[in-house]
Amino acid sequence: MSGSPPPPGGFVRRVGLFQATAINMSQMCGIGPFVTIPLMVAAFGGPQAVVGFVAGAVLALCDGLVWAELGAALPGSGGSYVYLSQAFRYRTGRLLPFLFVWTAMLFVPLIMSTGVVGFVQYLGYLAPGLGGPAGDLIGLGVIALVVLLLWRGIEHIARITAVMWTVMIASVVLVIAAAATDFSPHLAFTYPAGAFDLTGGHFWAGFAAGLTIGVYDYLGYNTTAYMGAEIKDPGRVLPRSIIYSILGIMAIYLLLQIGTLGVVDWHRMSDPGDIASTSVASAVLERTWGRGAADTVTVLILITAFASVFTGLLGGSRVPYDAARDRVFFRPYARLHPRHRFPTLGLATMGVITAVGFLIGRHTDLATLIQLLTTVMVIVQALAQIVALTVLRSRRPDLRRPYRMWLYPLPSLVAFVGWCVIYAYADRNSPGRHPVEWSLAWLILGCGAFLVWARWEKVWPFGPKESEEDRPAGRNTETV
């Protein structure tokens, strides 16, 4: 966790800058923009939906700078667990690190489940009769295949990820190129009356919904932070992989969004019976280059969706490992595969939760699943981690920081406000689903689990509270 040589039998630093950036970008792009463009249009009520992607990019970049500084200074497996542990352990015991792992065990697989939902949606373009139990079984089979492929060494996974990243880039570039050949500025830039009326509540409600969808599309810029113990030269590679991936995906998304709106009338995206509402990229290719090209690119999009689930579970499965190894989570999660050195129980648990989330998304709607996963992650990860950055700057000025946030504290303040907006509007943007209440219920359940675990481990509040002097010498002060 400290960046010092890994313990015997632990992780090995084998992932370089290109592979790290590829892992982030594969997880960020995936199926996200291909299924959320219609959702974004519905939120804003017109082609001004591009505002949502810009707002999401700003929030992702500001929050990414938080991850970059913390990840470079504390490059351990588990990401936020490491940062929250170092910032708050000596004031609230192990409560916050435990709650982060508890919430991550839910929101990370839910993010992956949206990718599987999108996979089945686009598969429906190739097989229009696909639906109901058949689609459910295919999605569950995809999840099982991802877990099976991840049941191997990191050196094999890095090579697989590089190939999938190439396919992801190819699929996005082809859709952008197809849109450029038949682009209509009239479609892309003709807005309905009152589209930018900032004095009414409709714009800001749409903006909050669009911000949620936009930041969801960028989620994954922190994947390599979860794998900090496996990154070469983490003080240099981690910040660059985060910043490069956000800037690269931002350019891709804007071209993809504007290009799509310039080919497909946005009214079609709001019609549930139109293929543009579920497989908008395929609709673009069909209109511009014909059905054969649409089928081919749809296959590439399916591979891209698979890659996003693959890389997401790769990084997410590492979250509970360091926590359990440091006795901040249930001990069985500290076990690694005896040969391939990956966390077996973490991967298996997240695979199961991904399957459950997929079924929830299939039998409700994708927008509800996105609102649920974002509200679950806001309090314990997003907001607490921003506070952790400030706390560590104050309490640990001696901590070596190979990267320091640009314009500190402005980006962290912007990120804090953005996450608060997402949380405040969640129930309004998902009427009848109560994502805020469900997120609070999960948090309360986590507090109960913490009390049970703390009593078993005989730690605070059922044991002595740790003090600053209890910190092991030399930990979290150096990076490789």
Q: pLDDT by residue (tens digit) across 402-442?
A: 999 989 999 999 999 999 999 999 988 888 888 999 999 99
- The reported pLDDT for the residue numbered 153 is 57
Cα dihedral 116, 377, 404, 81 sign: negative
The structural architecture, per CATH, of the domain 17-463 is Up-down Bundle (1.20)
What is the full DSSP assignment across 302-343?
HHHHHHHHHHHHHHHTTHHHHHHHTTSS-GGGG-B-TTT--B
Cα dihedral 127, 49, 25, 100 sign: negative
- DSSP classification of residue 465: P
Per-residue model confidence as pLDDT tens digits over 182-208: 999 999 998 888 888 887 767 888 899
Structure-token match 């807005």, residue found: 191
Question: How far is C-alpha 366 from the chain's CA centre?
Answer: 15
For the chain, which residues score pLDDT lower than 70? 1-12, 77-78, 90, 152-161, 201, 337, 340, 465-480
**Upper half-sphere CA count for residue 195 (Cβ side, 13 Å):** 16
Residue 124 is which amino acid? G
Nearest CA among 202, 172, 453 for reference residue 324: 453
Nearest CA among 31, 40, 27 for reference residue 367: 40
- DSSP classification of residue 227: B
Domain regions of the chain by residue span: 17-463
- Quick check: 321 and 226 in contact, CB under 8 A? no
- Quick check: 419 and 382 in contact, CB under 8 A? yes
Q: What span, in angstroms and rounded, lies between the C-alpha atoms of 407 and 411? A: 7
Q: Which residues of 79-105 are buried (b: 16+ CB within 10 A; e: fewer)?
A: bbbbbbbbbbbbebbbbbbbbbbbbbb
* Tokens linked to 387: 């506070």
Q: What span, in angstroms and rounded, lies between the C-alpha atoms of 286 and 93? A: 57
